Chains A and B, each alone.
Chain A
């Protein structure tokens, strides 16, 4: 299985901050990396796929970059509704695997 490792596990930030979350795969997944946002008690919501393609309806302050094994989700100008847990997922090779999550909290 491809292991997905996110860092940090949690972070504190203020509204308006720029936030970076990284995801590392245990072997190359080329561009097949997606990001999800999960709020407490809710199902995950797809934000981004194939590294940098924004899902319909997702604000443009979210962006993604990377390739191979190292990827980054960037949130520009953090908004109150962005406080949540974020997960990466590889869709390169089954079984599809997720990172352990990064919780973004209010400073």
Chain B
């Protein structure tokens, strides 16, 4: 059973960089069978896909955030990371990491999620 777990600072100052890590157990981030995504949810609001990483190094980002986002894999520790630069209060949200199958009918559908981590942007 694959499990995902987000970690990182819960408080980030405006204009700084938000950095989160998603640790994966029960599966490998180097598997060619999956994409690894970040999704966020402001309090009381809906879900926003931030972007995804594939083990070849290929990334796809939401155009609304693309200029500020970087995602990467750490294969030695079996985790993947999110960096969001120049944050503002509008970036305050619960951040989830999630897995989606590569190829097939379930491609780009999020079948496993982490529990989420709240990041607050405030001075």
Contact = CB atoms under 8 A, between A and B. Distances in A.
Nearest to A32: B108
Contact of B49 (A97, A100, A101): A97
From DSSP, what is the main secondary structure of chain B's interface residues? loop
Contacts of A91: 107-109
A34 interface: yes
Contact-residue size bin, chain B (C-beta under 8 Å from the other chain): 20 to 34
A49 B106 contact: yes
B53 to A, nearest CB: 14
B109 A99 contact: no
A98 B106 contact: no
B115 A43 contact: yes
B105 interface: yes
Interface residues of A, number: 24
From DSSP, what is the main secondary structure of chain A's interface residues? loop
Contacts of B74: none
A44 B110 contact: yes
Interface of B: 45-49, 60, 62-64, 96, 105-111, 113-116
Interface of A: 1, 32, 34, 36, 42-46, 49-50, 53, 55, 87, 89, 91, 94-101
